[in-house]
Every structure is written in C-alpha cells, then in structure tokens.
Amino acid sequence: MEKRIIEWNAELSVGNKKLDDEHKGLFDKINDLYFGFKNGKDETIIRSILVFLDRYINEHFNDEEEYMRKNQFPGLITHKRVHQEFMKKYEEFKKRYSSGYSAKKLKEEVKSFLAEWWINHVAMIDHQYADYITPKH
C-alpha cells in the first residue's frame, strides 16, 4: 500500500466530532485525488473526486463558520477570508486541470497545495477557534 500524503491524527482534533469527521473525509479524498493522478486513473474518477471535493469543501466551510458563529468566535471574519482565499486557489487548480495540465504537475500540486494547505489550516488556523471554544464547554 502506498504512503498517504496527508494523515489524520488526534493532535489535529478541533474538539468537535462533526468537524473532525469532515476533516478526515477531506484528507481521504485528497489522498484519493493524489493517487488518482499518480496512478493514471480514468478521467471520470478524477472528475468525480473533484466534484465531491467541491461540494464537501463548501459544506465543511459552512459548517465550520456556523460553529464559530454559534460560539461567538471573535476571529470568524478573518477565518472566513482564509476560506475564501483557499477557494480562489482551488478554483485556479481546477482550471489548470480542465485546461489539460499534466497529471504529473497536478499530482505535485495536490501534495504541495491541497495537502499542505489543509494540514496547516487544521493544525494552526482551525486550532485558534478550537482553543477559544473548547475551554468554554
């Protein structure tokens, strides 16, 4: 079995099961996308992963922002901007895919952009709201 490029661990937990499960699901799909490009999977499979990620990322950001709003996290506006910036970069990534960018380059982008962004976002940015909210409960 090939080594995954992004792994969930307990230290990444934000203290909310639903959000943690969503993060785990995103990590799984990012790995699927990486190995899809690496192993030359059928375009239909790659497209279905991208469609899933589109929906899932938007749902996750909405769930996360609602959780922060409900818990009166003071960094919500800044956090929301981080999500918007990610979505711009993710749209650019999808445009490169649609325009026929090489699978090898896209595979590396999945690793250097998607995997690294998500691991850093969860470990550092999301932990800001987790640290603020968790002590309250």
Digit-coded pLDDT (tens) for 66-80: 999 999 999 999 999
Asked whether residue 117 is assigned to any structural domain, the reply reads: yes
Q: Give the angle 83-81-131 at the CA atoms, nearest 5°.
A: 75
Residue 56 counted as domain residue: yes
Residue 134 pLDDT class (50, 70, 90 cuts): confident
What tokens appear for 92 in the block?
């650019």
**Residue 3 placed within a domain:** no
Q: Give the global pTM.
A: 0.91
Amino acid 115 reads A
Domain that holds residue 94: 15-136
Interacting residues of 7 by C-beta distance below 8 A, sequence separation 6+ = 27
CATH number, position 93 = 1.20.120.50
